[in-house]
DNA sequence: CGATCGCTTGATTCCGATCAACAGGAGTGG
DNA sequence: CCACTCCTGTTGATCGGAATCAAGCGATCG
């Protein structure tokens, strides 16, 4: 299932000077190095599935360009996005045999893929790498706990404010944020409906906390106000 | 801060034959072994703080007896419990320098405590141990993602049903569950109020899905119905 | 026996969901 | 280039589920 997709996706033409080899090199001592040396760059177009729930977890992934959402579904289609993965982020770091959620490209994306077995074998011989793998996973857990607080206890305004501050901190140097994801993605990440997200954004625009030149571009006019809402 | 508490708590009298030493032994190859050999058993009474947010994360913890809640607070007191830790569970496995949430004993508890630095040093020399540490953390992340789905997208009935099935799977062999935690703890774990939890339980009792001999004892009369609600 | 604490039950409110209509931007084809 | 459609997002009206406010209950403990 996954292999089909990998074969189907066309390999990226080394967009960032990425080497694509199959044999593991001498220990690289870092995850970044391991991805550089052992990773295959792959291109996924917007909304393409990278892996699905219940598929064997044979690879680890690193975003080079674009953005990825990982989510879970209920049987009736309700969706909860657990995280967005942006350039530099790793995802798919699962210990079990199979993936427990789905990963899709939010926008056209380039992803580095490494064989799980190869990386784990390398980590068994290189404690620095093993440590880094753990630190990464522990960081994901940290963010998940923060997000549980948002989903369980914050109101709509607080959720949107938290989101804007989080995303700005990750993708923007200044006050301008170009969102890679749709309102529906935002809603499914924040545990709200698209209408509530939209209304809340309009409201924040009305109080001059943000500006919305286009619906994908947000300017943070008043970070202090956002931080106050963030609780 | 943490040391004060550790000093304040009286050491448990080796309730499960636990050895309490300070020097690391020869590599044990398993986390369980490391806790057995290097861990100090400590007793915490109900509602005692094990560590607080922002405290240095100098120890890892394993529940021997009792139950622990880890949670985060908003400035106005709203609380989100991210996990309950039951006998056999590890917690406090954080990669950063400080704890990002608070851990408290839900009931009188006995906890094994090991020096973070000692365990990490051991893991650096023992790849089996390092791997186990990662697998544990990845498992916690898995559970956190499942919980995000609950908090973001399930209704009150579904949340309570999920909780009952989860807790029964962890602490009960048969259909009888003795809850270690209060309704308030359940509510703060499920992102609900205490009143909604109570009403939902009463409702499940009314439809003969569960029975409530006492408010801490629950009998699952109809697991299939619960699973249906769990979506 | 009275007080306290944790839980349940009832009445009402309110925030976000739902249902519905509309707007505007992007892409397509004539 | 414009007309058309589609898609995504916004706005409005109403509804409903859980929160809030409030009272009562029952077990435990002094």
Q: Do B72 and A140 touch (CB under 8 A)?
A: no
Which residue in chain B has the smallest CA separation from A83? B145
Residue B121 confidence (pLDDT) above 70 = yes
Instruction: Please state the rounded mean pLDDT for residues B180-198.
Output: 98
Instruction: Select the residue of B134, B138, B147 nearest A130 (Cβ to Cβ).
Output: B134
Reduced to 3 states, what is the DSSP secondary structure of residue A27? coil
Q: Confirm if B122 and B24 have CB atoms less than 8 A apart.
A: yes
Locate A73 and state its tokens: 């579904």
Q: Do A124 and B123 touch (CB under 8 A)?
A: no
Structure confidence at residue A79 (pLDDT): 97
Which residue in chain A has the smallest CA separation from B139? A95
Measure B156 CA to C18 C1' (Å). 18
For chain A, the average pLDDT equals 88
* Interchain contact B55–A (C-beta under 8 A): no
Locate B29 and state its tokens: 């190859």
β B40-44/A217-220 pair status: unpaired
Instruction: Please state the rounded mean pLDDT for residues A195-200.
Output: 98
Q: Confirm if B92 and B56 have CB atoms less than 8 A apart.
A: no
Please report which confidence band the pLDDT of residue B187 belongs to, taking 50, 70 and 90 as the band edges.
very high
* Interchain contact B231–A (C-beta under 8 A): yes
Closest CA to B112 of B218, B17, B216, B223: B17
Structure confidence at residue A1 (pLDDT): 33
Count the Cβ atoms, other than its own, within 10 Å of residue B183.
17
Structure confidence at residue B29 (pLDDT): 81
- Range scoring the smallest mean pLDDT among A65-74, B9-18, B147-156, B179-188: B9-18
Q: Confirm if A115 and A58 have CB atoms less than 8 A apart.
A: yes
Instruction: Select the residue of A76, A95, A130 nearest B138 (Cβ to Cβ).
Output: A95
Please report which confidence band the pLDDT of residue A28 belongs to, taking 50, 70 and 90 as the band edges.
low
Closest CA to A41 of A112, A107, A100, A126: A112
Please report which confidence band the pLDDT of residue A202 belongs to, taking 50, 70 and 90 as the band edges.
very high
Instruction: Please state the rounded mean pLDDT for residues B10-20.
Output: 40
* Interchain contact A57–B (C-beta under 8 A): no
Count the Cβ atoms, other than its own, within 10 Å of residue A229.
20
Residue B21 confidence (pLDDT) above 80 = no
Residue A21 confidence (pLDDT) above 70 = no
Measure A42 CA to D20 C1' (Å). 52
Instruction: Please state the rounded mean pLDDT for residues A208-218.
Output: 95
- Structure confidence by residue, pLDDT tens digits, B29-86: 888 889 988 999 999 999 999 999 989 999 999 999 999 999 999 999 999 999 999 9
Structure confidence at residue B227 (pLDDT): 96
Residue with structure tokens 């949340």? Answer: B159
Q: Do A152 and B191 touch (CB under 8 A)?
A: yes
Q: Confirm if B206 and B213 have CB atoms less than 8 A apart.
A: no
Q: Cβ contacts (< 8 Å) between A144 and chain B: which residues?
A: 141, 144-145, 148
Structure confidence at residue B159 (pLDDT): 98
* Interchain contact A121–B (C-beta under 8 A): no
Q: Confirm if A177 and A164 have CB atoms less than 8 A apart.
A: yes
Residue A195 confidence (pLDDT) above 60 = yes
Maximum CA pair distance of chain B? 57
How distant, in Å, are the alpha carbons of A33, A218, B123 from that of A109?
20, 22, 36
Instruction: Select the residue of B101, B123, B124 nearest A145 (Cβ to Cβ).
Output: B101
The nucleotide lying nearest B202 (C-alpha to C1') is: C8
Q: Do A134 and B231 touch (CB under 8 A)?
A: no
pTM of the model: 0.89
Please report which confidence band the pLDDT of residue B231 belongs to, taking 50, 70 and 90 as the band edges.
confident
- Structure confidence by residue, pLDDT tens digits, A62-89: 999 999 999 999 999 999 999 999 999 9
Residue with structure tokens 């992803």? Answer: A111
Measure A72 CA to D5 C1' (Å). 33
Instruction: Select the residue of B101, B140, B145 nearest A72 (Cβ to Cβ).
Output: B145
Query: Exposure string (b/e) for A81-110, b if CB count within 10 Å is 16 or more?
Result: bbbbbbbebbbbbbbeeebbbbbbbbbebb
Using the C1' atom of nucleotide D27, identify the protein residue whose alpha carbon is closest: B214
Q: Confirm if B42 and B113 have CB atoms less than 8 A apart.
A: yes
Locate B118 and state its tokens: 């000692």
Rounded CA separation B129/A10 (Å): 39
Rounded CA separation A29/A149 (Å): 35
User: Greater confidence, A125 or B25?
Assistant: A125
Instruction: Please state the rounded mean pLDDT for residues A106-132.
Output: 95
Rounded CA separation A5/B228 (Å): 33
Q: Confirm if A153 and B80 have CB atoms less than 8 A apart.
A: yes
Which of A:166-195 have CB within 8 Å of B? 188, 190-191
Please count the residue pairs, one from chain A and one from chain B, whose beta carbons lie less than 8 angstroms apart: 134
Q: Do B127 and A131 touch (CB under 8 A)?
A: no
Q: Cβ contacts (< 8 Å) between A124 and chain B: which residues?
A: 127, 131
Q: Confirm if A29 and A129 have CB atoms less than 8 A apart.
A: yes
- Structure confidence by residue, pLDDT tens digits, A153-172: 999 999 999 999 999 999 98
Please report which confidence band the pLDDT of residue B28 belongs to, taking 50, 70 and 90 as the band edges.
low
- Chain D positions with a protein C-beta closer than 7 Å: 8-13, 17-22
Instruction: Please state the rounded mean pLDDT for residues B179-198.
Output: 98
* Interchain contact B212–A (C-beta under 8 A): no
Q: Do A141 and B141 touch (CB under 8 A)?
A: yes
Dihedral of CA atoms A62, A66, A71, A75 in degrees, nearest 10, equals -130
Instruction: Report the percent of chain A where pLDDT is more than 90.
Output: 80
Measure B195 CA to C9 C1' (Å). 9
Q: Confirm if B114 and B60 have CB atoms less than 8 A apart.
A: yes
Residue A183 contacts strand D, CB under 7 A: yes
Please report which confidence band the pLDDT of residue B195 belongs to, taking 50, 70 and 90 as the band edges.
very high
Burial class (CB in 10 A: 0-12, 13-18, 19+), A77: exposed
Instruction: Please state the rounded mean pLDDT for residues B142-147.
Output: 97
Structure confidence at residue A29 (pLDDT): 81
Residue A25 confidence (pLDDT) above 80 = no
């Amino acid at each position: 299932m996954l292999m089909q997709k990998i074969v189907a996706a066309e390999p990226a033409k080394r967009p960032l000077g990425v080497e694509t080899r199959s044999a593991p090199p001498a220990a690289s001592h870092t995850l970044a190095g391991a991805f550089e040396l052992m990773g295959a760059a792959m291109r996924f177009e917007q909304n393409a599935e990278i892996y699905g729930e219940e598929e064997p977890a044979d690879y680890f992934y690193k975003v080079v360009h674009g953005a990825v959402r990982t989510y879970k579904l209920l049987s009736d289609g309700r969706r909860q996005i657990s995280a967005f993965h942006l350039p530099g982020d790793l995802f798919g770091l699962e210990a079990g045999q199979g993936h427990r959620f789905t990963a899709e490209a939010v926008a056209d994306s380039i992803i580095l893929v490494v064989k799980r077995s190869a990386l784990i074998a390398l980590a068994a011989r290189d404690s620095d790498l093993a440590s880094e793998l753990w630190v990464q996973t522990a960081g994901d857990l940290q963010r998940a706990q923060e997000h549980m607080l948002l989903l369980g206890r914050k109101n709509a305004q607080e959720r949107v404010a938290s989101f804007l501050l989080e995303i700005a901190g990750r993708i923007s140097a200044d006050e301008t944020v170009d969102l890679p994801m749709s309102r529906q993605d935002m809603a499914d990440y924040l545990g709200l409906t698209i209408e509530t997200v939209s209304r809340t954004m309009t409201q924040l625009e009305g109080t001059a906390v943000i500006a919305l030149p286009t619906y994908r571009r947000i300017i943070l006019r008043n970070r202090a106000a956002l931080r106050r809402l963030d609780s």
